Amino acid sequence: MVTIECWKDVHPALVTLPVDWDHPISYGILYAKEPDADVTHFIETVKKVQEKNM
Protein backbone atom coordinates (compact mmCIF):
# COMPACT_ATOMS: atom_id res chain seq x y z
CA MET A 1 0.00 0.00 0.00
CA VAL A 2 1.23 3.46 -0.81
CA THR A 3 0.63 5.95 2.00
CA ILE A 4 1.24 9.60 2.69
CA GLU A 5 4.36 10.46 4.68
CA CYS A 6 2.51 11.28 7.92
CA TRP A 7 1.20 7.67 8.06
CA LYS A 8 4.66 6.10 8.01
CA ASP A 9 4.58 5.16 11.72
CA VAL A 10 0.86 4.43 12.13
CA HIS A 11 1.20 0.64 12.02
CA PRO A 12 4.22 -1.63 11.51
CA ALA A 13 2.41 -3.50 8.69
CA LEU A 14 1.98 -0.30 6.63
CA VAL A 15 4.83 0.56 4.31
CA THR A 16 5.31 4.06 2.91
CA LEU A 17 6.76 4.15 -0.59
CA PRO A 18 7.80 7.42 -2.21
CA VAL A 19 6.33 7.90 -5.68
CA ASP A 20 6.29 10.69 -8.24
CA TRP A 21 2.60 10.87 -9.19
CA ASP A 22 0.34 13.76 -10.12
CA HIS A 23 -2.07 12.71 -7.35
CA PRO A 24 -2.17 15.00 -4.29
CA ILE A 25 -2.75 12.02 -1.96
CA SER A 26 -2.57 8.27 -2.37
CA TYR A 27 -5.37 5.97 -1.28
CA GLY A 28 -5.94 2.35 -0.46
CA ILE A 29 -8.27 -0.11 1.20
CA LEU A 30 -7.27 -2.00 4.33
CA TYR A 31 -8.97 -5.28 5.11
CA ALA A 32 -8.31 -8.54 6.94
CA LYS A 33 -6.13 -11.24 5.39
CA GLU A 34 -9.20 -13.47 5.48
CA PRO A 35 -12.11 -11.09 4.79
CA ASP A 36 -15.73 -12.14 5.10
CA ALA A 37 -17.94 -12.56 2.02
CA ASP A 38 -19.23 -8.97 2.04
CA VAL A 39 -15.72 -7.49 2.08
CA THR A 40 -14.54 -9.91 -0.60
CA HIS A 41 -17.46 -8.92 -2.81
CA PHE A 42 -16.71 -5.22 -2.25
CA ILE A 43 -13.01 -5.67 -3.12
CA GLU A 44 -13.85 -7.60 -6.29
CA THR A 45 -16.29 -4.85 -7.31
CA VAL A 46 -13.65 -2.16 -6.73
CA LYS A 47 -11.16 -4.14 -8.85
CA LYS A 48 -13.67 -4.42 -11.72
CA VAL A 49 -14.44 -0.69 -11.63
CA GLN A 50 -10.75 0.17 -11.51
CA GLU A 51 -9.94 -2.11 -14.46
CA LYS A 52 -12.80 -0.58 -16.45
CA ASN A 53 -11.45 2.93 -15.82
CA MET A 54 -7.85 2.22 -16.80
**How far, in Å, CA of 14 to CA of 7, rounded?**
8
User: Three-state DSSP class for 3?
Assistant: coil
On whether the CB atoms of residues 41 and 29 are closer than 8 A, the answer is no
Mean local confidence (pLDDT), 21-46: 87
* Residue 26 phi, psi dihedral angles, 5° rounding: -85, 165
pLDDT, residue 3, reads: 61
Mean local confidence (pLDDT), 17-32: 76
Give percent of the chain above pLDDT 90. Answer: 31
**How far, in Å, CA of 50 to CA of 42, rounded?**
12
Mean local confidence (pLDDT), 25-53: 89
Q: What's the predicted TM-score (pTM) here?
A: 0.51
pLDDT band at 53 (very low <50, low <70, confident <90, very high): confident
User: Three-state DSSP class for 22?
Assistant: coil
